[in-house]
Amino acid sequence: MLSFSPQEFSTAKLHGYLLSAVAPRPIAFASTVDANGNPNLSPFSFFNVFSANPPILIFSPARRVRDNTTKHTLENAEATKEVVINVVNHDIVQQMSLSSTEYPEGVNEFEKAGLTMLKSEVVKPFRVAESPVQMECKVNEIIHLGKEAGAGNLIICEVVKMHISEAVLDENNAIDQNKLDLVARAGGSYYSRAKSGFFEIPKPLSTLGIGVDALPKRIRESAVLTGNDLGLLGNVENLPEEKDIQAFKNQHNLSSLSTEEKHKKAKDFLSFNDVESAWKMLLS
């Protein structure tokens, strides 16, 4: 058995062990606004429910391990004392992953991830319309656990309004877990789909993905491609070059295919995480 004291490893190494050992973890898809009302959206897996009366959720935007900086979500929660926690089901998992890309301050992650901003009823941050459960919260307290890289910041939230899609309810108005189809976070690139087990999502680029908002309209509004498909397509830094697209066309003889047929074939490539071939198919 490998036995050690936390001080024996770097923070990054210890961080990896902890995230792999304490898993799967539910995901808080946290929407906030800054002092000027600019929206921000980011997922956090240091998250759970801790009380029903009062209804309390706690999540923790930890200080970045690599450079000890804080995240916009924490800064916004400190400034406005409001947040919306949206749950993540399998239908939006790729878009959620794309939103975790560290875009500069002021960039709207709703737009980058291709998600819809839905006005809240009690608080200022927007809800994620595609999320099946959305919880509007007031921030009661923020507990800073340290000042070094990797230190957590517990945001203690009280739910003041809850919204549940009727599509995930059973005949008794209880949540049907199979219909809800939640996903959770594990170590490395692993996630867990509550009703079917582990799967992998490549981590978002360390550079910035182009985002769903940068996809050509004919792709963004495709009747074939899902939100998850668009999330995968948006997580690329550059599109294929014209010479590579032409070579792909020559190799696959695509001249007789309709737009819908190309989108279906691109969807097949995406099912195997072959994003490059999917892009070449769509642009051919």
Share of the chain above pLDDT 90, in %: 82
Tokens of 203: 């981590």
State the chain's mean pLDDT as an integer. Answer: 94
CA dist 17 and 27 (Å) reads 19
Residue 194 has a pLDDT of 85
Mean pLDDT of 246-268: 88
pLDDT digits over 202-227, tens only?
Answer: 877 667 889 999 999 999 999 999 99
Q: Can you give the pLDDT at residue 205?
A: 66
72-87 pLDDT per residue, tens: 999 999 999 999 999 9
Name the segment(s) of the chain with CATH classification 2.30.110.10: 6-195
Average pLDDT over residues 184-204: 90
Report the pLDDT value the prediction gives residue 230, as an integer from 0 to 100: 97
What CATH number belongs to 6-195? 2.30.110.10
Query: What pLDDT sits at residue 52?
Result: 97
What is the mean predicted confidence (pLDDT) over 13-25? 92
Verify cis geometry, omega within 30 degrees of 0, for the bond prior to 240. Answer: no
CB 83, CB 182: distance < 8 Å: no
Residue 69 — pLDDT band, cuts 50, 70, 90?
confident
Both tokens assigned to 94: 């790729």
- State the pLDDT at residue 250: 84
Confidence (pLDDT) at 45? 96
Whole-number pLDDT of residue 37: 94
Q: Please choose, from the candidates 107, 131, 103, the residue with its C-alpha nearest in 3D space to the C-alpha of residue 117.
A: 131
Bridge partners, 58 (sequence order): 48, 156
Residue 254's pLDDT band (boundaries 50, 70, 90)?
confident
Give Cβ neighbours of residue 233 (< 8 Å, ≥ 6 apart): 212, 215, 219, 225, 270, 275, 278, 279, 282
Lowest model confidence (mean pLDDT) among 31-40, 60-69, 116-125, 253-262? 253-262
Q: pLDDT of 105-134, one tens digit each?
A: 889 999 999 999 999 999 999 999 999 999
